[in-house]
Structure 1
Amino acid sequence: MELVAIFVTAILINNFVLRYFLGICPFLGVSKKIDSAISMGLAVTFVMTITAAVSWVINHWILIPLKLDYLQIVSFILVIASLVQLVEMFIRKISPPLYEALGIYLPLITTNCAIFFLALMVSL
């Protein structure tokens, strides 16, 4: 029962888009077709999940022990940009029509403030 409550809380109550209004630009640009909207959502979810894990590792195992806290923002941006490039290359290779449908909004995941907000929250 607790697991269901956690999922409901994460999906509806503490949702980044619904609670903080972060990451709206790609949603509005790609939401004309259901297939491209689902694909963009999956790409953003993948990048957010991996960003959270990698940012936490970099912050707690490298930056904090070496007292390089002032490099958090730069390191998080590098992690996000690298992951978005990997996702873009993967989608381009696997599904060229989907890559064309997502257009400019796929690289814009890099500047998605929801992902950066997540990286900063994980670092706390």
Structure 2
Amino acid sequence: MNTESLGAIFLNACLVNNFVLAYFLGICPFLGVSGKMETATKMGAAVMFVMLISSMCAYGIHAFLVAIDAPFLQLISYIVVIASTVQLVEMFIKKISPALFKSLGIFLPLITTNCAILGVALFQTNKEYGFLESIVYALGAGAGFTLALVLIAGLREQLNFADVPKISKGTALTLFIAGILSLCFMGFAGLGA
């Protein structure tokens, strides 16, 4: 059992070990959906929801698989839960907001293969978190993912109005900004245990 406080778990997942900027997991939506602030926040919320549901299910699945002595089924079980949750989110967004569904495009179903979500499930299991700790860890990881998306979306929107040399426009500039953000988040390493 882990002895970290819930606040420390949240801050660790959100800032210190941010899944995008420290572990470099979930880069696909980070680069693909971060062109506009509105799309980035909605994608962040969708990923946070999937992380939360997957984390809760992963806790139960892990306990069940350990009880029946079948931990080798852990990875495939997590993937099935994540894929099912993404399908529910996709159907919900398509029904509620077709415009958002269209703006997220291929990146919405790609949440299924977002390694940050699988990373949350695997990391919480390896850290032996309890149920409440798992929920806080997933919320922190989702908040960190959303924070990273919103930060880069805001910067990219502002750069649309800047006079940027032609050679560094587009993907090159986005990767450069992502690298600088990653370096900035390294400053939070002193907060972690």
One fold, TM greater than 0.5? yes
Q: 1:59 aligns with which of 55, 58, 62?
A: 62
How much has 1:4 moved relative to structure 2? Answer: 6.5
Equivalent-residue separation in structure 2 for 1:103 and 1:50 (angstroms): 22
1:67-78 map, 5 Å: 67-78=69-80
How much has 1:7 moved relative to structure 2? Answer: 4.8
1:1-80 map, 5 Å: 7-60=10-63, 62-80=64-82
How much has 1:16 moved relative to structure 2? Answer: 1.1
How much has 1:18 moved relative to structure 2? Answer: 1.6
Equivalent-residue separation in structure 2 for 1:101 and 1:113 (angstroms): 22
Aligned to 1:106: 108
Query: Match of 2:78, as an amino acid?
Result: F
Q: In 2 relative to 1, CA 6–57 (structure 1 residues): closer, same or farther, beyond 3 Å?
A: closer
Q: Deviations over 1:24-46 (max 9, x none)?
A: 10111111111111100110111
Query: Match of 1:100, as an amino acid?
Result: K
Q: Which runs of 5+ in 1 are unaligned?
A: none
How much has 1:123 moved relative to structure 2? Answer: 2.1
RMSD: 1.7
Q: 1:116 aligns with which of 109, 118, 122?
A: 118
How much has 1:56 moved relative to structure 2? Answer: 0.8
| Matched residue SS, 1:15 | coil
CA contact (8 A) 2:65 2:71 kept: yes
Aligned length: 122
Query: Match of 2:98, as an amino acid?
Result: P
Aligned to 1:94: 96
Indicate yes or no: 2:92 matched with 1:84.
no
CA contact (8 A) 2:51 2:120 kept: yes
Query: Match of 1:105, as an amino acid?
Result: F
How much has 1:52 moved relative to structure 2? Answer: 0.8
Q: In 2 relative to 1, CA 8–118 (structure 1 residues): closer, same or farther, beyond 3 Å?
A: closer
